Amino acid sequence: MRTSTCRQTQHARYDVISVLTFRLWLGVLFCLCPEQLQLVWAQSSNANSQAALVTQELRYHAIGAREVYLVWGINGWHAVPEAIRPPETYLDDKKVMRTRLVRKGETFITTVRVPPGTRLDYKFMVTKTKGGGGTDIWQTDDENGRPFTKDVNLDGRIEIESGLTVALTVTAGQRKAWVAGEAVDLPLVKQEILYHAPGAGEVWLVWGIEEWQTIPDAAYPHGTVIEDDGLMHTRMVRKNDTFVTLVRVPSGIRLNYRFLIAKMDTGTPVHVRDDAVGKSYLAKSEDGLIEVESTVTPVTKEQRKAWLAGTTSEIPFVAQELSYRSVKPSDVWLLWGIDGWQAIPDAARPPGTVLKNGMMYTPMVRTGTMFTTTLRVPSGTVINYEFLMDKSNESASVDQSDGNRAGTLIAQFNGRVEVESTVTKVAMEQRKTWPPGRLTDLSLVAQEIRYRIAGTEEVWLVWGINGWQAIPAAARPAGTVLKDNRLMHTRMVRTGDTFATTVRVPPGTMLDYKFLITKTSRGAPIIIWQDYNGKDFWKLVRVSGSLEEKATVTVVTMDQRKEWLAGRAADLPLVTQEIRYRAPGAAEVWLAWGLDGWQVIPDAARPPETVLKNGKMHTPMVREGNTFTTTVRVPPGTVLDFRVLIAKTEEGMTVDIRQEKDEDGRALSKVVAFDGRIEVQSQWKSRS
């Protein structure tokens, strides 16, 4: 009995040791690789391992997709045992599970089973679109930029709204063909771009698609030009402190963009580039909005006025160091002002500054042959300056000014200006605005000037430099004459509605200019001046480049348009407008239209087959695939009122569907100034 009892005790001791040893090793394994063993533990801790799993239904809403995969894993992208994987799951090259989702309408669904306490890692891959096009679009994180993950403890559901279905209504091949100009009948989405820039007066959207490519010419927004950098520049419409423009592109196109502030609200030309945060945007399947706050905007006109008046000091300043190098042992003063030689508040002036005749004189600090001072002014300020040398060491003390009216800079950021003295003993030489020497030896920069106006045959560029001074005759463009107080008049070359010429001036020249319209396209002599809101145009020319101005005047007066509408004047210049209406499913479309309040135009000027119905002109539109077009010719400056009527569907059904407003709910109308195109998307949806 004692022997038996001893053996039983010994066996029990061995059992305890075995259990303890097993648990020890199991603990070590969990410490070394807990994620790999968590599923094993969940399965081994229950005789029925399936009962220990929890389910997660994943639902992915992706309009326009045809095939979607769930790419997933647990506890760091590890695969679950094959026995519990959903149907149609396979391992990719990185041993990550990919499960094909089941499509139900616009939603793609699957259910996964994992142990409670598991971290579920997942993302989605769209592989096919509804149109059959193959693609490879990933959605890896939520709207806040966080990777998709969830700690799973109970049965549940995960629902994700696709942020990428925007790219699915048009295939990659179709988008590529559209960019190349080989596909014109793609549905386009509208992207409204808002740029908030207090203090700016003129802003351009600099943009491209898919790494800064240009789009087809026909799709350019109004006011778009290709500049020397090869990028599209679209002038934005100003609405108080916000600048707006619309672009239309196929869904799935990625927009690249930045902004260029070209003028301040005072009219002062600047060149301030704002690289927008984000820099790109994926156009969605629906119209979208991009809204950007400026990070580089100059101080507003009102803020500068208040600062100059001494009523505020709470505005940002930039520092401008001005240096002047002279080998002559003279005292040098900076004669200066801002925004047209105005003096700044006394507290903001550099030490030693005095006022003489309303202008500020600041003594410059000498270090060797360099004279320096620093100015602090509001961002965006125009600094006017000259250097004044006081030759006190000479028997006949004189003041000499070094520089000319090109002594102007825009203080946008902290910076430095360094000037080399060019003062000579001859007073006339220092006042010359044109450098001495033969023309062939001078380093000049070219500026192409373009002016766009409809209904005109003859336009002159009236111009000068550094305060309307004329340049030497040998350097003037061909055909330039001096008129009106010796102002240079250069006849511009006409190409369609655009007039152009090129001038060549020294770098750093202030170019003053305006336009004189002298003849209509019918040959009638006129005298119409084009300036900038009552002020002359001007630009500081540093390098070769171009500038373009668009007419804000018209060669046809309101009285002339009234006479033409009444049939009493037939000799007016006309501009052409092509109207394009995209209406899939329509078979017959009419344009109902009129001018300046739905007035009819003379019968001889109407497009073919135009008829009058209820006092309004109705013109049948020509079908080109899903697009219907017609062309009208009207005097420039006219308001074109119109609406579109669908009269028959492709099924042969007679209908009366009218569209009188655009996508923003505004009545369909346009002030017609130049030849152009109007594109309208039908709001009617075909049953097919």
CATH number of the domain encompassing residue 507? 2.60.40.10
Mean pLDDT across the stretch 549-570?
81
142 belongs to a structural domain: yes
Residues 288 and 305 occupy one common structural domain: no
Residue 423: pLDDT over 60: no
Residues 385 and 417 occupy one common structural domain: yes
Residues 257 and 154 occupy one common structural domain: no
Of 423, 455, 488, the domain-final residue:
423
Residues 634 and 530 occupy one common structural domain: no
Q: Is 190 in a helix, a strand, or coil?
A: strand
Residues 313 and 417 occupy one common structural domain: yes
Percent above pLDDT 70 for the chain: 76
Distance CA 278, CA 265 (A): 27
Mean pLDDT across the stretch 6-32?
49
Residue 235: pLDDT over 60: yes
Quick one: pLDDT at residue 414? 60
Of 245, 276, 293, the domain-final residue:
293
- Which stretch, 133-142, 260-269, 596-605, has highest mean pLDDT? 596-605
| Averaged pLDDT score across all residues of the chain | 78
449 belongs to a structural domain: yes
Distance CA 85, CA 114 (A): 9
Residue 377: pLDDT over 80: yes
- Cα–Cα distances in Å, from 155 out to 80, 113, 158? 17, 9, 10
Instruction: Indicate the pLDDT class of residue 72, thresholds 50, 70 and 90.
Output: very high
**269: enclosing H helix or E strand:** strand 269-274
Mean pLDDT across the stretch 278-300?
69
497-534 pLDDT, tens digit per residue, is 899 999 998 887 888 899 999 888 778 788 888 887 66
Q: What is the pTM of this model?
A: 0.35
Contact 315, 297 (CB under 8 A): no
Residues 413 and 310 occupy one common structural domain: yes
The sign one gets for the Cα dihedral 516, 518, 519, 520 is positive
Contact 282, 164 (CB under 8 A): yes
Mean pLDDT across the stretch 564-571?
83
Q: How many domains does the chain have?
A: 6
Residues 400 and 357 occupy one common structural domain: yes
Contact 333, 362 (CB under 8 A): yes
Tell me the two tokens of residue 586. Answer: 């329509």
422 versus 259: the higher-pLDDT residue is: 259
Instruction: Indicate the pLDDT class of residue 31, thresholds 50, 70 and 90.
Output: very low
- Cα–Cα distances in Å, from 179 out to 102, 229, 546, 559? 34, 19, 26, 44
Q: Are strands 669-672 and 232-235 parallel, antiparallel or unpaired?
A: unpaired
Contact 274, 229 (CB under 8 A): no
Quick one: pLDDT at residue 109? 94
Residue 428 carries which side chain, given as an amino acid letter? Answer: M
Residues 401 and 513 occupy one common structural domain: no
Q: Are strands 280-282 and 254-264 parallel, antiparallel or unpaired?
A: antiparallel
639-675 pLDDT, tens digit per residue, is 899 999 999 998 889 999 999 887 777 788 887 877 7
Q: Which of 274, 251, 236 is nearest to 191 (CA)?
A: 251
Q: Is 221 in a helix, a strand, or coil?
A: coil
434 belongs to a structural domain: no
627 belongs to a structural domain: yes
Of 260, 293, 326, the domain-final residue:
293
Mean pLDDT across the stretch 62-89?
90
**CB 74: neighbour CB atoms within 10 A?**
21
Mean pLDDT across the stretch 409-415?
59
**Strands, E, within 537-681: which ranges?**
537-541, 545-550, 575-582, 586-595, 611-613, 616-620, 622-624, 627-634, 638-649, 654-659, 669-672, 676-681
- Using DSSP, how many helices (H) and how many strands (E) does the chain show? 6, 50
41 belongs to a structural domain: no
105-134 pLDDT, tens digit per residue, is 778 999 999 999 999 999 998 887 765 556
Residues in the chain: 688
206 versus 559: the higher-pLDDT residue is: 206
**CB 90: neighbour CB atoms within 10 A?**
11
Instruction: Indicate the pLDDT class of residue 408, thresholds 50, 70 and 90.
Output: low
Residues 381 and 477 occupy one common structural domain: no
Contact 35, 115 (CB under 8 A): no
Residues 142 and 237 occupy one common structural domain: no
Distance in Å from the first CA to the final CA of the chain: 95
578 belongs to a structural domain: yes
- Its domain, for residue 103, covers 53-167
Distance CA 163, CA 165 (A): 6
CATH number of the domain encompassing residue 594? 2.60.40
Mean pLDDT across the stretch 344-357?
87
Quick one: pLDDT at residue 533? 63
* Residues forming beta bridges with residue 462, ordered by sequence position: 489, 514
Mean pLDDT across the stretch 293-317?
74
Whose structure tokens read 């003859």? 458
686 belongs to a structural domain: no
Residues 6 and 95 occupy one common structural domain: no
CA 4 to chain centre: 94
- Which stretch, 109-118, 367-376, 394-403, 556-565, has highest mean pLDDT? 109-118
441-465 pLDDT, tens digit per residue, is 678 889 999 998 888 889 999 999 8
430 belongs to a structural domain: no
Poorest-pLDDT segment among 90-94, 168-172, 317-321? 168-172
Quick one: pLDDT at residue 42? 40
Distance CA 258, CA 248 (A): 17
Residues 562 and 667 occupy one common structural domain: yes
